[in-house]
Amino acid sequence: MVDVPDDGSRVLIEVESHNGSTKIEGFVIPAAAAGHITIKLVNGYNASYAIDSITSLEIVENTIEKASTEQSPATKFNESLPTVRILHTGGTIASKVDYKTGAVVARFEPEELISSIPELTDIANVEAVKLGNMFSDDMRPQHWNKIIDASKQAFEDGVDGIVVTHGTDTMHYTAAALSFSWAGSGGKSPRPIAIVGSQRSSDRGSSDAAENLIAAVHWAANAPSPIGGSGDSVVVVMHTSSNDGECSVHPGIGVRKMHSTRRDAFRGINTQPLATISANNGKPSIQLSETYSAELELPITREVTTTPDKYETEIRIPQFIAGPWLVSEHIDAIMNIGCQAIVIHGTGLGHLPIDDPEGDAPENTLVWRSLTRAINREVPVVIVNQCISGPIDMNVYSKGRKQMQMGILGHGIIAPPETVVAKLHWALSKGEEISSIIAADLCGEGRATLME
């Protein structure tokens, strides 16, 4: 039996398998099981073998010591290129493998980014600021405010565009929040802001990290000056399909993560992409959509926002799902705890279980009463779309018209649920009148021309 070297060692092993003798080279990482050795191969995938099956093992080099002393080359400023500042918040987009532990850690320094993705030096002068390193599901409004402050500072420093590296799970929440911050009050961001992530970590052969980041930096450096009312102040840049070669530029107020693992997980909701970015072998190019191109030809009516809006961190917006399990006790409990608004994901066109036509579902009548009490206490109740795509239309059926008579808001909404909740939080933070704000199209989230 061979002795297994320390994690991080690069080894060449010979293994006796069912198909005969095989030679494998890679890095030793923590074993997947007792009595095994796990090797990270050069293609990014892992392979595990029983130690008893190894006939020879040669240590090629110890990468741990080498990594601790190796310095990245300094970046050089190119006056002919625009400047893009990357704001790193976490996620796999800016990551590398620590072969000693097998964990993925942040890569956020400009020198490290450029050394790993040299194509960036042909696109822009890249700066980088680390705001944090967290899973995106841990993001809260205080983290939005941190990004808002950092993006404001970046524009004051004169950058030509901003890229926010972000975990994908709540990237669409942050995109919507930043959109209303910069453009909700009638203005627009000074220059493009692109939020980008990756579905596959950079240590995997199928990683989308490099291509997504190249596309996002290219957009931040070369995109048209934002209109503000087209959902273009803040965009999400991610793979168009599972294949390499093209990324889509989605309006930040009309996109949602629709798959847990696919590289093309992000899809427009009642919207089309503003543009696509082709890879072109490391020399990306932008193809604007016909609709967006036409809008860019119109006179600019919005002023540049110099002080973006911030979010109150103490606002509470509980969410419920309409269906057989929505009961009045839950609504009453939330009202007793205290909240600033209630959001319900309605069925179909935006309906709730509030009627008892057969006389055998008193729970529905109790839900109606609880919601009526909440509205009478001036707590806004907003319906969003459980179907995700399509509008909220409470005019079609008598059920919907009854809901509007109760004072339930949301008729006409076409934005994704997360965008509506971010908009509601933004409006509550500013002390706006909710009924008029929810119905208004502030920065592209209510544009029927984008309906599929």
If one compares 386 and 199, the residue with the highest pLDDT of the two is: 386
- Whole-angstrom distance, CA of residue 394 vs CA of residue 408: 10
Element (H, E) at 156: helix 141-156
Q: 116 Cβ partners below 8 Å, 6+ apart?
A: 96, 107, 202, 210
Mean pLDDT of the chain: 89
Give the model's pLDDT for residue 98: 60
Residue-range domain boundaries for the chain: 9-67, 72-296, 319-450
Residue 169 annotated among the catalytic residues of the structure: yes
pLDDT at 387: 95
116-136 pLDDT, tens digit each: 788 888 999 999 898 988 888
Neighbouring CB atoms inside 10 A of 337's CB total 9
Query: Is 80 exceeded by the pLDDT of residue 6?
Result: yes
Identify whether 92 is a catalytic site residue: yes
Candidates 83, 92, 170, 271; catalytic one: 92
How many residues can be counted in the chain?
Answer: 452
| Topology classification of domain 319-450 | Rossmann fold (3.40.50)
Q: At 72, is the pLDDT very low, low, confident or very high (cuts 50, 70, 90)?
A: very low
- For 94-113, what is the mean pLDDT? 58
Residue 48 CA to residue 33 CA, distance in Å, equals 8
Give the C-alpha distances (Å, rounded to integers) separating 244 from 127, 166, 198, 269: 26, 20, 13, 23
Residue 332 DSSP code: H
Q: Give the pLDDT of residue 207.
A: 76
Active-site residue identified among 7, 22, 96, 169? 169
pLDDT score of 103 more than 60: no
pLDDT tens column, 404-427: 999 999 999 999 999 999 999 999
pLDDT at 313: 97
Would the pLDDT of 97 be above 50? yes
Q: List beta partners, residue 49.
A: 37
pLDDT classification of 281: cutoffs 50, 70, 90: confident
Q: Which among 288, 203, 211, 301 is positioned nearest to 249, based on CA atoms?
A: 288
Considering 152, 188, 257, 423, which one is annotated as catalytic? 257
pTM of the model: 0.83
pLDDT, mean of residues 245-270: 94
Is the domain spanning 72-296 CATH 1.10.1380.10? The answer is no
Q: Does domain 9-67 have CATH number 3.40.50.2300?
A: no
The pLDDT, as a whole number, for residue 68 is 40
In this structure, of 152-161, 174-183, 275-284, 429-438, the range with the lowest mean pLDDT score is 275-284
Domains 72-296 and 319-450 share a fold: yes
43-69 tens-digit pLDDT = 666 788 888 899 998 888 654 444 443
Identify whether 138 is a catalytic site residue: no
446 pLDDT exceeds 50?
A: yes
What is the mean pLDDT of the segment spanning 272-297? 93
Q: Where is pLDDT greater, at 385 or 92? A: 385
Active site residue 208: no
Say whether pLDDT at 299 is over 50: yes
pLDDT at 201: 61
- The per-residue pLDDT for 47 is 84
Cβ of 259: how many Cβ atoms within 10 Å? Answer: 12
User: What was the pLDDT predicted at 332?
Assistant: 97
Lowest mean pLDDT among 208-212, 336-340, 345-349: 208-212
What is the per-residue pLDDT for 394?
97
pLDDT-derived band at 19 (thresholds 50, 70, 90) equals: confident
Average of pLDDT values for 5-12? 84
* Catalytic residue chosen out of the listed positions 38, 75, 83, 168: 168
Share of the chain above pLDDT 90, in %: 66
